Structure 1
Amino acid sequence: MAFSSSPSLLPPSSYTELKDAWHPSTTANTTESSYWFNWRVMICCIWMAIAMVITAFLMFKYEGFRRKRSGDGGDGGEKEWSGNVYEDETWRPCLRNIHPAWLLAFRVVAFFVLLIMLIVIGLVDGPTIFFYYTQWTFALITLYFGLGSLLSLHGCYQYNKRAAGDRVDSIEAIAIDSERARSKGSDHHTLQQSQYSSNPAGFWGYVFQIIFQMNAGAVLLTDCVFWFIIVPFLEIHDYSLNVLVINMHSLNAIFLLGDAALNSLSFPCFRIAYFFFWTIAYVIFQWTLHSVVHIWWPYPFLDLSSHYAPLWYFSVAVMHLPCYGAFALLVKLKHRVLQRWFPESYQSPR
């Protein structure tokens, strides 16, 4: 989260006060060995190691496409593997009545708006702005909408091609799948899903799904900390925020929630591992940078010279759970509501 503001957007006196108040300051010399070889760093390394082990375990155990597995019950049914991602899920809207072109248009608009904001922020505040976790996440969500635009463009081509003709094979496949579904006692919801391609997503489809779930937690984490902790503190001290800072901590969540409301992507909980991985990568980057360069910490709680550093690191790790869980609940609520209100048009993840 960056707090530096542009002189062109704030009165000179207000800008000076805000910059002086929030400009990060250096504490101990981070290039000295005594800074790193102590009990505080050791405990923080233990937190990091535990998080990395859990992250690696979840990734290797659940990620990747696998064929349907037998259910635990005695009905002989099959359950979808949680790590599966299908090709059409990356571009298909959640309602059949919504043309994929609408999702494409939304993603294109979001991409260019976020890209322009990212460029402007970089020009106004300089390259050091990318020392902050917020800018990392902002760049990641911009990448998400850029990749999503390309996948939606490809999906629209496939959709129009399918609508124009060559439906003989697909109709036969639908009939076969429908008959199998009836023989297994499946409901209308299962019959709807059989009408779509069962081809697994390629490399970029999986990358897109992973970035989506990484952004889900990271955007909520940065925006919640900003609006519920930092802004009230600024109000108490009569500091004003410029338009760039406000938009940066609002448009990212608005666009991501809008895309989540429209898309058909699943949201398996095990991919919280990538959210942790994203934060771990940022912390490792900061540690590596500070070990060779004596520079300010972008966030005070990252400073390992504080006796409360282990508590701060542990607290930030715990905050990942409610942020990711809140987004997962929103996605689940969306599917429940759409399935109840639009049963004939609803297209859920498999």
Structure 2
Amino acid sequence: MFESPVQEGWRYWIRWQVPVCGLTIAIPCVFAVKFIRKSMAEPLLLSDLWATHWRHLSPLWLLLYRAFAFVCCVQLLYEIVALHGPFVFFFYTQWTMALVAIYFALGTIVSAYGFWYPSRKTQSKNEEDVKLMEKPLKNNGDRVKVDTIKVQNKYAEQEFQEKAGYLGTLMQMTYLAAAGASVLTDVVFWCLLVPFLLGENFQVSLLIGSIHALNAVFLLGDTALNSLSFPLGGFAYFVAFGGLYIAFQWTVHMCCVNWWPYPFLELSTPWAPLWYIGLAVIHVPCYGIYALIVKTKYSLLPRLFPHAFVRSF
């Protein structure tokens, strides 16, 4: 039986396993942060965040879907906190659900902005422009005016496709991180914990099952509707999120907590480095699974719905 970090004090943190495990997590996180700082400088169009790939589907439906998913995620978090207290946020599952809720909150805001603001801003002007262009041209002055209107409309369209800014970038980051985190959470729960630990001391209630399923279900529904890209480089956000969770666990154990929510986080066992290496490696297939789903979306849906699904804009 290994002693807890609180019982051993500072001696717990001078084991040889600690720096090895720390470097196993820190090195990927350093590269992830460098990539994130570089990627934030790349342009991101607002239409990529709120538009859909479905030809006859109004972006309003994506807005409503994101608002509904946000409310459901918050409700699930509220119910589990009300039942077990804030202690549940020691678990990665609640971190994942909170991240999914943040994504849908940002997505709702951005979708609302993309749906309402540009259309209201240009609607009245475009109606006047169309009426003028429908009139017969009487002289060169009218022709020049029409050409000017076309140029103005071009600039209006460019403005409509303006850069998303920090809010849109944050939305994209949470989307990529939440996708990988949801796969990791659900695969570990349904493929490892439920088959091997289900018994008198571990039962799956409707609430627990919902939290370990609806996070991915809501994201997959959003993926089927949205126009967001899913680059392989987005893996950096997933890595940074995992590193943040490990840093949180280590910090609270240094201060007062004498219990690990997951046995593989224990540092006093000689097998700790292997567990941490495995924890780092498993992020790759989890992110890859979701990337494969997105790739399948762009290859399969155009064949199934050739007249409804637009592969690219």
Tell me if TM exceeds 0.5: yes
Offset at residue 165 of structure 1 (A) = 4.4
Per-residue CA deviations over 1:47-105 (Å, capped at 9, x if unaligned) read 1231122212322343322xxxxxxxxxxxxxxxxxx3211111111212110111111
Distance 1:106 1:27, change over 3 A: farther
Partner of 2:15: 38
Q: 2:78 aligns with which of 119, 128, 132?
A: 119
- Sort the Cα spacing of 1:171 and 1:147 in 2 relative to 1 into closer, same or farther, 3 A: farther
Q: 1:180 aligns to what?
A: none
Is residue 29 from structure 1 mapped to residue 1 from structure 2 by the alignment?
no
2:195 aligned to which of 225, 228, 232: 232
Q: Which moved more, 1:278-287 or 1:291-300?
A: 291-300
Determine which of 155, 158, 180 is the counterpart of 2:114: 155
- Where does structure 2 lack aligned partners over 5 or more consecutive residues? 130-146
* AA at the equivalent of 1:142: A
Equivalent in 32, 48, 51 of residue 55 of structure 1: 32
CA RMSD of aligned residues (A): 2.8
SS of 2:216's equivalent in the other structure is helix
CA contact (8 A) 2:4 2:259 kept: no
The count of corresponding residues between Structure 1 and Structure 2 is: 292
Call closer, same or farther: CA 1:146–1:313 in 2, change over 3 Å.
Answer: same
**Within-5 A mapping of 1:48-197:** 48-65=25-42, 84-158=43-117, 160-161=119-120, 164-167=123-126, 172=150, 197=160
- C-alpha distance after superposition, 1:168-222 (max 9, x if no partner): 5999369979xxxxxxxxxxxxxxxx99943211110000010000001000000
- Select which of 204, 210, 224 maps to 2:167: 204
Structure 1 runs not aligned, ≥5 long: 1-24, 66-83, 178-193
Q: Which residue of 1 aligns with 2:211?
A: 248
CA contact (8 A) 1:266 1:349 kept: no
Q: Distance in 2 between matches of 1:164 and 1:57?
A: 42
The answer to whether the 8 Å contact 1:48/1:280 transfers is yes
Instruction: Find the aligned partners of 2:122 and 2:55 in 1 and give their Cα distance.
Output: 13
| Residues 178 and 238 in structure 2, CA contact (< 8 A), matched pair in contact too | yes
Q: Which has the larger radius of gyration?
A: 2
Q: TM-score, normalised by structure 2?
A: 0.84
Compared with structure 1, are the counterparts of its residues 233 and 196 closer, same or farther at alpha carbon in structure 2 (3 Å cutoff)? Answer: farther
Secondary structure of the corresponding residue to residue 261 of structure 2:
coil
